[in-house]
């Protein structure tokens, strides 16, 4: 299958070494795979090394079971100067019953960097299809929300007395 440079798919068989104490695939194993997919999608699009800046809205909708095939559908939804939002949808498939379910979704912000790990420009994303335009517009809203959340966080910590933890963390 030939996907555009801003999209990619990866399918992985969930094996017993990925299981948690409940017998499902450990969330950390899924997060590691998500980061790998976000890296591959972003690096392929940018044509250079990329690093993870943030992960948003990781939503574990349903457990993933050992023995299932898990497909990660990744897309560059938005580009800034050096950053990209990568949206990833996770589909789990029971091989025996062929039941397919939407198990997880999230958004990674990746930054393109050079050999010295300094940010470099990425090609601007030009959304064409209605789905691409919808994802682009939603990514702009998420970027604005992240910026607002950061401003609130800074303001909260600016008003916290020295030695006092605002969020107990």
Quote the tokens at residue 75: 């897309």
Cβ atoms of 72 and 14 closer than 8 Å: no
* Per-residue pLDDT tens over the stretch 7-43: 999 999 999 999 999 989 999 999 999 999 999 999 9
- H helix and E strand count, the chain: 2, 5
Quote the tokens at residue 138: 């939603």
* Per-residue pLDDT tens over the stretch 45-99: 999 999 999 999 898 999 999 999 999 999 999 999 999 999 999 999 999 999 9
Q: What is the pTM of this model?
A: 0.87
Give Dmax over CA atoms of the chain in angstroms: 58
Domains in the chain (CATH in brackets) are 7-123 (3.10.129.10)
- What single DSSP character describes residue 103? E
- What single DSSP character describes residue 163? T
Q: What residues contact 5, with CB distance under 8 A and at least 6 apart?
A: 44, 45
């Amino acid at each position: 299958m030939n996907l555009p440079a801003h999209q990619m798919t990866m399918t992985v068989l969930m094996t017993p070494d990925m299981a948690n104490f409940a017998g499902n695939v450990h969330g950390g194993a899924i997060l590691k795979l998500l980061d790998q997919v976000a890296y591959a999608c972003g690096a392929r699009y940018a044509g250079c090394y990329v690093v993870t800046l943030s992960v948003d809205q990781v939503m574990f909708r349903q457990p993933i079971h050992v023995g299932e095939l898990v497909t990660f559908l990744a897309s560059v939804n938005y580009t800034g100067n050096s950053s990209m939002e990568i949206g990833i949808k996770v589909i789990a498939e029971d091989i025996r019953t062929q039941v397919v379910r939407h198990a997880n979704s999230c958004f990674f912000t990746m930054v393109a960097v050079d050999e010295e790990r300094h940010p470099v420009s990425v090609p601007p994303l030009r959304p064409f299809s209605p789905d691409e335009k919808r994802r682009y517009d939603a990514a702009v809203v998420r970027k604005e929300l992240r910026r607002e959340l950061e401003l609130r966080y800074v303001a909260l910590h600016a008003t916290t007395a020295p030695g006092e933890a605002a969020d107990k963390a």
